[in-house]
Chains A and B, each alone.
Chain A
């Protein structure tokens, strides 16, 4: 498994966790982008980002030119017409257009370079009045930075176009020279002191080695330009540092608010479940017992045998009620967890599971009670799911300290396909983990194996 980032995300903990998981396991260490991808030639050849970057750099000049023309014509026209007021709506229209263009450009940068440039815009006034909205746009510095970006886009993309055309043309010409020779019947080869006429495709093959060198060079040039363009885009299209900090704080607040709400919901759900269990279980049993004893009392004189049978039945009923209450109490909070900690508590869970469960707990010291409890219930719910749905033959539970995290991992060899549905047990666990800033990941491809992993902070 790749590096697992623990930075809490904005959206639902589960989707976010799933996305992180996908990135961590399939992306080979984070989502591929020009900023964090490998610079090794072989890795670059394999990475689609290299080719997407090359495409963008080669063709974005069209966009750059387009915006240059639109802005040059539009701005001069509307500024010229300002005196007779027609220029104002024209300018407003142009502003909306270039904001749209900047948004498109952010998308393209993400698609080409794999780098997300966050929207820097202020929130527009929540009104239906378009004039107020336009005023809000005009007052936003981000709008004018968008304009700056689009205005400079043409020279920047022109340079990018010229350079990438040169390097990729050289690469193509040299790599495919034998083909050229075969088609044209010959070609002049000339590189400094080496110069000859290749009349046969085989004679052009040595040039292909040079082509490989050009290929690597072209990839590096492309990569460097891509990084440059990313920085350029981030500077003008992205939020300023203060704004970024603000956005980050807002995102964090939103995350905390959401996780608190989910925590409250999870607790509420839990209380309802306990009420339901009590109502359907022990309460009904005890009522039946009371009824049996009542009937026995009524029969005592006339039908002592019948009364005896009823008392037997009531006795059995009380035992069942006791066992139901015990299970319920353990489900609310297992006493052993408080007394002895996770290892014996999890061993107890494993012992009651219907499939063999290996338990490894490796913690230098006991984590806080909230963390222990959430870890316990994650394992309990996972094992219950395994028993119910997974058709597994064995499972394993691992709890270990990694850095400042308690990592809980439950793996089974069952059918897989487990998903955290909203309102379901797994989602409830993710919500509970989120309340202490932990996270839960479910990786369960169809066919298995299923891995449920939770990272919980040690200090809470």
Chain B
């Protein structure tokens, strides 16, 4: 597996390269700014691009815009966006063009090496990984007539885990319930949110986030 990295902090860039190297993932190229990302993606055709949001020249959402540019130019290129702060708006921007192979995580998640590497592999394989913090922000929002209000706390929990790209089995394990119970929760959620049940982990995330994103306006 080969990745490219766009990250302006040398310290973190080097750390990421070594961390991925420890897990047997090769880094094909790195850049220190947003505009350079598209170039290395086109040149190396990586299995995944890891991008920091805040980079030169503007130090705002440079990386996010670069990621969107890559997705627009080469749809389907798996991208993991790392950020010091997560914002739901960034998440909905990112998955706006399709949630397949999209990841959006807080930077500090890299310190849980095993979990991070797992996320990297899942995204590269076309999965979706959204930081629990974003899910929390989305679920924490309350507004009048919000269908989310009708979810039970357990269903909410399942929705959150679902949005992180977990399989039913993993969710069942996490919540210490049977897979059958999880499936029941999920179909309840889809029903309450008026969503057609779909197959495959990332499709569920896409559906959930598309719904949440729309609700966020």
Q: Which residues does A use to contact B, with CB under 8 Å? A: 276, 279-280, 283-285, 287-288, 290-295, 297-299
Contact = CB atoms under 8 A, between A and B. Distances in A.
Nearest to A320: B11
Nearest to A306: B22
A295 B19 contact: yes
Nearest to B111: A290
B59 A299 contact: no
Given A276-B59, A291-B15, A299-B22, A283 B110 contact: no
Contacts of A283: 84
B9 interface: yes
Given A295-B19, A297-B113, A290 B12 contact: no
Where chain A touches its partner, the secondary structure class is: helix
Contact of A284 (B9, B111, B113): B9
Contact of A293 (B22, B84, B111, B116): B111
A314 B16 CA distance: 14
B38 to A, nearest CB: 24
A298 B22 contact: yes
Interface string B61-91: 0000000000000000000000010000000
Given A280-B9, A297-B113, A291 B16 contact: yes
Nearest to A278: B84
Nearest to B106: A287
B18 A287 contact: no
B112 interface: yes
Contacts of A299: 22
Contacts of B110: 287, 290-291, 294
Nearest to B8: A280
Contacts of B22: 295, 298-299
B181 interface: no
A294 B54 contact: no
Chain B interface bracket (under 10, 10 to 19, 20 to 34, 35 or more): 10 to 19
Given A279-B54, A287-B107, A299-B22, A294 B113 contact: yes
A298 B114 contact: yes
A295 B54 contact: no
Where chain B touches its partner, the secondary structure class is helix
Contacts of B173: none
Interface string B163-176: 00000000000000
B113 A295 contact: yes
A287 B12 contact: yes
23 contacts: A276-B59, A279-B54, A280-B9, A283-B84, A284-B11, A285-B11, A287-B11, A287-B15, A287-B108, A287-B111, A288-B15, A290-B110, A291-B15, A291-B19, A293-B111, A294-B110, A294-B112, A295-B19, A295-B22, A295-B113, A297-B113, A298-B113, A299-B22
Interface of B: 9, 11-12, 15-16, 18-19, 22, 54, 59, 84, 107-108, 110-114, 116
Contacts of B114: 298
Contacts of A287: 11-12, 15, 107-108, 110-111
A297 B115 CA distance: 13
Contacts of A279: 54, 84
Find the residue from A293, A297, A298, A299 having the highest chain B CB count within 10 A. Answer: A298
A294 B12 contact: no
Interface centre among B15, B54, B107, B108, by most chain A C-beta atoms within 10 angstroms, is B15
Contact of B11 (A276, A288, A293, A298): A288
A293 B108 CA distance: 12
A280 B116 CA distance: 22
A297 B114 CA distance: 10
A276 B116 CA distance: 26
A295 B18 contact: yes
A45 to B, nearest CB: 60
Contacts of B16: 291
Given A288-B11, A291-B110, 16 more contacts: A279-B84, A280-B9, A284-B11, A287-B12, A288-B12, A288-B15, A290-B111, A291-B113, A294-B19, A294-B110, A294-B111, A294-B113, A294-B116, A295-B19, A295-B22, A298-B114
A293 B110 CA distance: 10
Given A297-B113, A298-B113, A299-B22, A291 B84 contact: no
A276 B18 CA distance: 26
A292 B84 CA distance: 17
Contacts of A290: 108, 110-111
A292 B54 CA distance: 22
A172 B106 CA distance: 88
A292 B16 CA distance: 10
A280 B11 CA distance: 11
B92 to A, nearest CB: 23
Most buried by B among A292, A295, A297: A295
Contacts of B116: 294
Contact of B12 (A276, A284, A295, A298): A284
Contacts of B54: 279
Contacts of B19: 291, 294-295
A290 B107 CA distance: 10
Nearest to B116: A294
Contacts of B111: 287, 290-291, 293-294
A292 B110 CA distance: 10
The 5 closest A-B pairs by CB, nearest first: A290-B111, A294-B111, A294-B113, A291-B15, A288-B11
Interface centre among B19, B110, B113, B116 (most CB of A within 10 A): B113
Which among A280, A290, A291 has the highest number of chain B CB atoms within 10 Å? A291
B22 to A, nearest CB: 6
Interface centre among B16, B22, B84, B111 (most CB of A within 10 A): B111
Contacts of A285: 11
With a 10 A CB-CB cut-off, give which of A279, A287, A290 has the most chain B CB atoms. A287
A297 B22 CA distance: 12
A288 B18 CA distance: 11
A294 to B, nearest CB: 4
Nearest to A317: B11
